[in-house]
C-alpha cells in the first residue's frame, strides 16, 4: 500500500478537500464525558483530518497518527510535530496498542483497510463510550455532467476502477461489531460544493491512486486527458465540484 501514496504527499495535502466543520463539532460533543482524550488517526495521510479535529478538541488532547506511507508521515510530522507519528498498517498498529483510547479516526482511508479486522481492532482499543469515526468525501457524480464524465474517464483508463468502489454499507459493518456489546452507530451526511481551478483539479487528480494507475498504464499523457476534460467544462477557468460527505460514528458500549 505504501507504494500507492509515496511521492504524492505535497499535492495530496495541498489540493485534497477538507471535511465539514460540523463533523468535528459532532465528534467533540460526544467526547465531553472524558477528562482525558487520546485520538488515533489511522490512515492519517498528511493529517488533513487533524486540521479539523485539533481546533474542535481540548488543547490537552493527545494525538497518535499512523499511515503506511513514509512520505505522508514525513509531511504530516512537518505540519504537526507534536503528534506521535508512526509508519505502519492501521490494523497492526491498533492491535499493538497497550492502552485504551477515546477516539479512532479513519478519514478517506476505510476502503483501504481489511475492514472487518480494522473494526474489531478499533472496538477492542476503545474505552467504553469511545468513538470510531469513519469519514469520507465522495465526489457527487450525479450532480454535474463534468463529474459524471470524469468518472467515466477514470473507468476507461484506470485498471480495475469503478465509481462504486466505496459502495458498501459502512454503517452495517461497524454495527456488526459495536451493537452486540451495547454500542450504536450514527450516520451524518453533508452535501456541499467548492470551486476548483482547472490546474488545481488536475493536481488533485494526480494525487489519487486511480489516476496514478492510469499514468502507469498510459504515461503522463493521461493528465492531458484530465486537463482537456476540465477545460471543456470549466467556466472562467473554474469548475464546481460537488461532494457528499459522510461521517459514521460507532460508539463502544
pTM of the model: 0.95
Tens digit of each residue's pLDDT (9 = 90 or more) over 19-61: 999 999 999 999 999 999 999 999 999 999 999 999 999 889 9
Cα distance between residue 130 and residue 29, in whole Å: 12
Say what the pLDDT of residue 155 is.
Answer: 97
Q: Mean of the pLDDT values across residues 156-180?
A: 96
Q: Mean of the pLDDT values across residues 114-123?
A: 98
Say what the pLDDT of residue 6 is.
Answer: 56
User: Of 1.10.3720.10, 3.40.50.150, 1.10.10.10, 3.40.50.10860, which CATH number belongs to 2-138+163-192+244-251?
Assistant: 3.40.50.150
- For residues 187 and 229, the answer to whether their CB atoms sit within 8 Å is no
1 has a pLDDT exceeding 60? no
Say what the pLDDT of residue 5 is.
Answer: 54
Q: What are the structural domain ranges in the chain?
A: 2-138+163-192+244-251
At CA 15, angle to CA 119 and CA 248, rounded to 5? 25
C-alpha cell at 244: 457528499
Average pLDDT over the chain, rounded to an integer: 95
133 has a pLDDT exceeding 80? yes
Other beta carbons within 10 angstroms of residue 220's beta carbon come to 8
Amino acid at each position: 500500500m505504501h507504494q500507492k501514496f509515496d511521492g504524492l504527499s505535497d499535492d495530496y495535502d495541498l489540493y485534497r478537500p477538507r471535511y465539514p466543520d460540523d463533523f468535528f463539532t459532532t465528534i467533540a460533543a460526544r467526547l465531553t464525558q472524558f477528562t482525558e482524550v487520546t485520538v488515533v488517526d489511522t490512515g492519517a495521510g498528511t493529517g488533513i483530518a487533524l486540521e479539523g479535529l485539533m481546533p474542535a478538541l481540548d488543547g490537552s488532547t493527545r494525538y497518535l497518527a499512523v499511515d503506511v506511507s513514509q512520505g505522508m508521515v514525513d509531511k504530516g510530522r512537518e505540519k504537526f510535530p507534536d503528534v506521535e507519528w508512526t509508519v505502519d498498517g492501521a490494523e497492526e498498529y491498533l492491535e499493538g496498542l497497550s492502552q485504551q483510547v477515546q477516539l479512532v479516526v479513519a478519514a478517506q482511508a476505510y476502503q483501504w483497510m481489511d475492514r472487518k479486522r480494522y473494526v474489531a481492532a478499533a472496538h477492542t482499543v476503545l474505552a467504553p463510550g469511545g468513538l470510531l469515526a469513519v469519514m469520507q468525501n465522495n465526489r457527487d457524480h450525479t450532480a454535474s455532467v463534468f463529474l459524471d464524465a470524469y468518472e467515466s474517464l477514470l473507468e476507461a483508463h484506470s485498471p480495475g476502477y469503478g465509481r462504486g468502489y466505496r459502495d458498501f454499507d459502512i454503517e452495517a459493518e461497524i454495527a456488526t461489531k459495536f451493537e452486540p456489546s451495547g454500542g450504536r452507530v450514527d450516520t451524518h451526511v453533508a452535501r456541499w460544493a467548492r470551486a476548483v481551478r482547472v490546474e488545481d483539479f488536475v493536481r488533485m487528480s494526480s494525487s489519487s491512486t486511480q489516476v496514478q494507475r492510469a499514468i502507469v498504464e498510459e504515461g503522463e499523457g493521461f493528465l492531458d486527458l484530465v486537463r482537456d476534460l476540465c477545460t471543456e467544462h470549466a467556466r472562467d477557468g473554474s469548475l464546481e465540484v460537488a461532494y457528499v460527505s459522510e461521517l459514521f460514528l460507532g460508539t463502544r458500549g
